Chains A and B, each alone.
Chain A
């Protein structure tokens, strides 16, 4: 859990990291050692999957906002109304 939790927090705190993640996520996912289903969920910004996998909703939400995801879109996705 910790690697992705760390990335979610780092993106919340570091706008430059957020920009770099939006441009090219794979090198950052590599550097955090995030693999498997966690990586798929984060790479696709599948917030619902992250929530279902037990990640902290505050961190998922704050990270989404930092990645310039619209709040309404975030909630539509987490409610399963939109992919």
Chain B
């Protein structure tokens, strides 16, 4: 049984701490059950289940720290793992950035656990995939997809009395539908905490429609275009930007948040005033951990307000060095969720198209890699449904493009934001962006 409740976790953690002889000891106990099913060429190819329960001990003598892990839970094993961590600590070099452990804190209760998602079985997954396969077969199309669900818990206790516990569920589904000729392709990818929100049949129909409508793509010249990015494409481009709101790298001069001549750009208007970004572990659509691995609370934080950068995440060590307050970043650990949330309006993708004189609709991006860490210029390609828009209507599918663009520049060129939806570990609106830079064409379907 990999999912322990709060009392069960607390009992094991207390027992582990009772064996400690170190100056400071921190113990983490995490468990996860996950299952998946994969299919391709309209048939299931693999399926699996994994169950893990792991205990990690971190022991410190002064500034020397040792870590050890174990997945056996009898008393002798628990004593052994503590002894091993302490032995490694005595041998370890001093860590000049060591920070004393935090004491107790009143962490908010996490809201990310949905029993029906945790209760999914191989049969549940197979039935959901059967729905997807039916759509593809009925339409004489070919589907390849992946469905994965997980339930997990995290807990932590230290020798200063801190105890934290949280549990979470997640289910994600993606499917690529292609036509038999290989000239059209569509894709959807959605994640939820609650499996009740996942409709594999409807999502596969969306991908199938894209596959059919993207066939026969025309080549148009690369260049700068107004683009409408569906939320998936937006999250491909922007999902990582929130990690850049970080104090230390900004202070060190190696971040887009670094200021010429020294210092940071905190408080500056870096983006269009329509841009508002925050994170909130208690957001119902994107719940996350309410504490991080350092024992700090993770709370709702505004990162960008009306285009102005309002906060930078900061570790306890760096905060002490700079004489400022530490601030936990979003996420808070290995659970998904708790990530970037960007506000928007009420417009749908269709509404954004209606208001566009000339532009390109992008379903998703692919193989995005950083080109320049200073400007965050990235390169990548459109994929699985790219369309030309004229006078408020989709006119025809177009060949895929390679882009070279910075999300910072993108967020300065915002024309309109639609209604936000969850995409992976972000909540983002569909967005209309002017002057998006496409640099070459691709023949890939």
Asked if A and B bind, the verdict is no
Instruction: List chain A positions with a Cβ less than 8 A from chain B.
Output: none
